[in-house]
């Protein structure tokens, strides 16, 4: 048996401890360490920032190397805004520990977020599991609304809880879906202002506000966006290659128009359905044939005028539904 030189092992460990951690940005950290769980994602597996490139600059502004202190993300629904913030949470736990607060619109949503998103975030990443103990272990410091880790703690709370919002100082603030926050929390004022006071003593604080806008004139995230430098994500036109923001009015696609006669079922049609909209003074009917692969066509649209409380209008509807519709192949249906 070879002699084990304990002194050499200690020296190697000491030298390794002197090496500085790699200076990663949040997006680089996510690409290297984040794994999406089946419990929290429709595309489980390794996180790829290239899959959502519009989030890269936002995440990197949350890195310690960036001078930016406040980021407002006004976004569409289901484009990864919350997961962007969760990547930042993972980065803080692993790379830049400190006190952090994540605020949902309500305490109940904060609990749900903890179980459905934060717990999988930690469980699926080895570097995070090493720093946050399992919740079921005694004195782990890991509860539904509190995650302790070396050098810091993550507090999850709701914007409807004044006690939660002033529970502790926080260097990092993640304010999610701010347009769902109450205007006043328990008589103590605006929840965003209450949360921001938690970070006032930190010179290198970071604040991320995320939301899909709701009522235009009352939107918190619109207000935050308009107070910022208003950056937008530009993409190249596939034809002229000029960079532009995505606007619905500028989108063009081949408009799938087919040449078939109204009132005649196209040849691939296999069966018919009718959608009926009932109003007080009329019944509107659309007749739709369906083919393989859920392909459909609109072959007729009729408005039957009359008081729908009277039976004669419904008799006219029965007549429409009972008729045969000619098929392009020559048969009727």
Q: Do 140 and 282 share a domain, yes or no? A: no
HSE toward the beta carbon, residue 25, CA cutoff 13 A: 15
Q: Do 96 and 129 share a domain, yes or no? A: yes
**Full-prediction pTM beyond 0.85?**
no
Q: pLDDT, tens digit, for every residue of 35-52?
A: 998 877 778 899 999 999
Question: pLDDT value at position 1?
Answer: 44
pLDDT at position 4 over 70? no
Has residue 161 been placed in a domain? yes
Q: How far apart are CA 82 and CA 177, in angstroms?
A: 8
Question: pLDDT value at position 168?
Answer: 87
Q: Which domain holds residue 74?
A: 22-236
Question: pLDDT value at position 5?
Answer: 61
Q: Do 224 and 259 share a domain, yes or no? A: no
pLDDT at position 178 over 90? yes
Neighbours of 186 (CB within 10 A): 13
Q: Do 182 and 308 share a domain, yes or no? A: no
Question: pLDDT value at position 246?
Answer: 85
Question: pLDDT value at position 29?
Answer: 97
Q: How far apart are CA 30 and CA 95, in angstroms?
A: 11
Percent of the residues in the chain that have a pLDDT greater than 90, as a whole number: 73
Q: Do 227 and 279 share a domain, yes or no? A: no
Q: pLDDT, tens digit, for every residue of 215-244?
A: 888 899 999 999 999 999 999 988 889 999
Question: pLDDT value at position 129?
Answer: 94
Q: pLDDT, tens digit, for every residue of 77-112?
A: 889 999 999 999 999 999 999 999 999 999 999 999
Has residue 261 been placed in a domain? yes
Q: How far apart are CA 60 and CA 26, in angstroms?
A: 5
Residue keyed to tokens 């939660």: 164
The token pair at 24 is 């990663």
pLDDT at position 254 over 80? no
Has residue 282 been placed in a domain? yes
State the pLDDT confidence band at 331, using cuts at 50, 70 and 90: low
Has residue 168 been placed in a domain? yes
CATH code where residue 320 lies? 3.10.20
HSE toward the beta carbon, residue 288, CA cutoff 13 A: 12
Of 258 and 190, the one with more pLDDT: 190
Question: pLDDT value at position 104?
Answer: 96
Last residue of a domain, one of 207, 236, 265: 236
Neighbours of 175 (CB within 10 A): 26
Q: Do 291 and 331 share a domain, yes or no? A: yes
State the pLDDT confidence band at 67, using cuts at 50, 70 and 90: very high
Q: Do 182 and 37 share a domain, yes or no? A: yes
Q: pLDDT, tens digit, for every residue of 192-208?
A: 999 999 899 898 899 99
Q: Do 202 and 312 share a domain, yes or no? A: no
Has residue 86 been placed in a domain? yes
Q: Do 122 and 258 share a domain, yes or no? A: no
Has residue 32 been placed in a domain? yes
How many separate domains does the chain show? 2
Three state DSSP letters for the chain: CCCCCHHHHHHHHHHHHHCCCCCCCHHHHHHHHCEECCCCCCCCEECCHHHCHHHHHHHHCCCCCCCCCEEEEECCCCCCHHHHHHHHHHHHHHCCCCEEEEEECCHHHHHHHHHHHHHHHHHCCHHHHCCCCCCCCCCCCEECCEEEECCEEEEEEECCCHHHHCCCCCCEEEEECHHHCCCCCCCCCCHHHHHHHCCCCCCCCEEEEEECCCCHHHCHHHHHHHCCCCCCCEEECCCCCCEEECCHHHCCCCCCCCCCCCCCECCCCCEEEEEEEECCCEEEEEEEEECHHHCECCCEEEEEECCCCCHHHHHHHHHHHHCCCEECCCCEC
Mean pLDDT of 125-140: 81
Q: Do 134 and 280 share a domain, yes or no? A: no
Q: pLDDT, tens digit, for every residue of 297-309?
A: 999 999 999 999 9
Question: pLDDT value at position 46?
Answer: 92
Of 6 and 64, the one with more pLDDT: 64
Mean pLDDT of 258-281: 92
Has residue 311 been placed in a domain? yes
Q: Do 298 and 190 share a domain, yes or no? A: no
pLDDT at position 2 over 50? no
CATH code where residue 36 lies? 3.40.50.300
Question: Which of 34-43, 48-57, 120-129 has the lowest average pLDDT?
Answer: 34-43
Question: pLDDT value at position 140?
Answer: 61
Q: Do 66 and 215 share a domain, yes or no? A: yes
Has residue 241 been placed in a domain? no
């Amino acid at each position: 048996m070879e002699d084990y030189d304990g002194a050499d092992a200690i020296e190697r460990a000491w030298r390794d401890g002197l090496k500085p951690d790699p200076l990663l940005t949040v997006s680089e950290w996510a690409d290297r360490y984040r794994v999406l769980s089946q419990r929290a994602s429709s595309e489980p597996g390794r996180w790829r920032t290239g899959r959502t490139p519009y989030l890269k600059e936002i995440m990197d502004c949350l890195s310690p190397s960036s001078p930016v202190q406040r980021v407002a993300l006004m976004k569409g629904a289901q484009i990864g805004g919350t997961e962007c913030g969760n990547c930042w949470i993972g980065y803080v736990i692993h790379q830049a520990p400190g006190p952090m607060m994540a605020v949902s619109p309500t305490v109940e949503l904060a609990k749900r977020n903890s179980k459905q998103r934060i717990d999988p975030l930690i469980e699926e990443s080895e570097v995070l599991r090493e720093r946050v103990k399992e919740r079921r272990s005694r004195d782990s410091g890991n509860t539904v609304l509190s995650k302790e880790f070396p050098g810091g703690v993550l507090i999850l709370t709701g914007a409807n809880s004044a006690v939660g919002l002033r529970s502790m100082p926080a260097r990092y603030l993640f304010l999610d879906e701010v347009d769902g926050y109450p205007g006043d929390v328990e008589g103590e004022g605006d929840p965003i202002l209450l949360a921001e006071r938690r970070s006032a003593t930190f010179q290198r604080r970071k604040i991320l506000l995320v939301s899909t806008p709701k009522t235009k004139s009352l939107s918190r995230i619109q207000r935050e966006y308009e107070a910022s430098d208003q950056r937008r994500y530009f993409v190249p036109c596939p034809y002229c290659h000029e960079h532009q923001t995505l606007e619905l009015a500028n989108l063009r696609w081949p408009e799938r128009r087919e040449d078939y006669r109204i009132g005649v079922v196209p040849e691939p049609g296999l069966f018919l359905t009718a959608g009926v909209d009932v109003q007080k003074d009329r019944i509107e009917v659309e007749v739709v044939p369906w083919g393989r692969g859920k392909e459909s066509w609109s072959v007729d649209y009729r408005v039957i005028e009359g008081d729908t409380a009277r039976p004669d209008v419904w008799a006219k509807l029965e007549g429409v539904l009972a008729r045969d519709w000619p098929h392009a192949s020559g048969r009727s249906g």
